[in-house]
Chains A and B, each alone.
Chain A
């Protein structure tokens, strides 16, 4: 199978499980709800307290509308992420996970909404609606199950970029020579804006929540402050290579990640596609166990550790860093023998 065949197969399966299946689930759920509308009270329970009794109500027609918007909207979002992230013909396990996640999320929401409406058929007063515990458990179970099925229904395809990882020749070092390579790597502006907008949206949400008197506003505010602080630590990193190995440290001082020379099995320069390989930007763990400090797409330094896992950091001039690591590793190996 050629490369583009593999890519097309992977994308077709993704569209099957992450677009077609969720849309069908949504259509069935919405059709059921519309059919049941005449049998439910005109105002239905839509929210349940921790104790199990309904404590939030809305007009009945909002349930099918909400299910349709959420089901189709989320599916469109996930499909959009897939198309946007794989334009360069790359594919990875992260896409497989995204497809599984797309189906699971829609199943959870649509089953739960449909069930919560269906169980209110024949009621006169929505306050008498039964508890939501069982529907929640069952729809969560179905969501996990459909997610697992969606994962295995997709092929295990990994397609590297046009520049697959390349090893580099070691830097020429005299026996006594010492060297250090240092570089600052900064998150791409687009990713910074996206993260900033997300945090700002949450902060606005907490202000709205406070304005309408919801007690949850301080939780939202605390979460947005925490997220803002975490995001700020991942915008700029200093990458350093010396005789101790590799260190990647946030410009704020923490967090930091180190790989000692003795733990490096292989060093190379690669080309990172954040969405396909890591599912986004920042400090990422990929489904295949690869760890990445992914601040932008493009040139990156890649190490394979002794345990076979990859450590990737996106940084300019990665070839010089790799060449120095090769030279220092070779010297360390010689010294051990």
Chain B
């Protein structure tokens, strides 16, 4: 799986880590039952604080995407599978929004509005 963060972005680092994990699930790189790298390993590799990564993992646990188990670390749950199934639809939608010069925030707001 690929986790990327941009410290110069306005989005908090923990939210970027969580978004990366969601993107991994959507791209099929993270499957149900896969073990996420330890928070310590991710923190060392990205040069960010351990608690930042742990906070991201807790956020993903609250969303039901991962299970935190003592000794085993964070494990992806069955909830990641639907994300992978939406992958092509999301890519197509984003590509379409790009050609229409729609901003990411506007697209997200539209999706949220439609979902309600």
Q: Scan residues 217-254 of chain A and give those whose CB is less than 8 A from a CB of chain B.
A: 238, 240, 242-244
User: Are A177 and B5 closer than 8 Å at their CB atoms?
Assistant: yes
Q: How many A-B residue pairs have CB under 8 A?
A: 56
Task: Tell me if B8 counts as interface (CB < 8 A to partner A).
Answer: yes
Contact for B41 among A174, A183, A240, A243, CB less than 8 A:
A240
Query: How far is it, in angstroms, between the C-alpha of A181 and the C-alpha of B30 when the chains are bound?
Result: 12
Query: Residues of B contacting A263 with CB < 8 Å?
Result: none
Contact for B46 among A183, A184, A242, A324, CB less than 8 A:
A242
User: Are A182 and B8 closer than 8 Å at their CB atoms?
Assistant: no
Query: Residues of B contacting A244 with CB < 8 Å?
Result: 45
User: Are A176 and B8 closer than 8 Å at their CB atoms?
Assistant: yes
Contact for B45 among A171, A173, A242, CB less than 8 A:
A242
Query: Residues of B contacting A335 with CB < 8 Å?
Result: none
Q: Mark A158-180, 1 if CB is under 8 A from B, else 0.
A: 00000000000001011011111
Query: Residues of A contacting B48 with CB < 8 Å?
Result: 178
Task: Tell me if B35 counts as interface (CB < 8 A to partner A).
Answer: yes
Task: Tell me if B94 counts as interface (CB < 8 A to partner A).
Answer: no
Task: Tell me if B71 counts as interface (CB < 8 A to partner A).
Answer: no
User: Are B1 and A181 closer than 8 Å at their CB atoms?
Assistant: yes
User: Are B2 and A240 closer than 8 Å at their CB atoms?
Assistant: no
Closest chain B CB from A221 CB (angstroms):
32
User: Are B2 and A324 closer than 8 Å at their CB atoms?
Assistant: yes
Task: Tell me if A317 counts as interface (CB < 8 A to partner B).
Answer: yes
Query: Residues of A contacting B29 with CB < 8 Å?
Result: 317, 320
User: Are B35 and A180 closer than 8 Å at their CB atoms?
Assistant: no
Query: How far is it, in angstroms, between the C-alpha of A21 and the C-alpha of B8 when the chains are bound?
Result: 69
Contact for B2 among A174, A176, A184, A320, CB less than 8 A:
A320
User: Are B35 and A179 closer than 8 Å at their CB atoms?
Assistant: no
Query: Residues of A contacting B45 with CB < 8 Å?
Result: 178, 180, 182, 240, 242-244
Residues of B within 8 A of A (CB): 1-8, 29, 34-35, 37, 41-42, 45-48
Question: What are 10 sample pairs from A and B whose C-beta atoms fall under 8 A apart?
Answer: A178-B5, A178-B6, A179-B3, A180-B37, A182-B42, A184-B35, A240-B37, A240-B45, A242-B45, A317-B29
Residues of A within 8 A of B (CB): 171, 173-174, 176-184, 238, 240, 242-244, 317, 320, 324
19 more A-B contacts (CB under 8 A) besides A173-B4, A179-B2? A176-B7, A177-B4, A178-B6, A178-B45, A178-B48, A179-B3, A179-B4, A180-B2, A180-B3, A180-B4, A180-B37, A181-B3, A182-B1, A182-B41, A184-B35, A240-B37, A240-B41, A243-B45, A324-B2
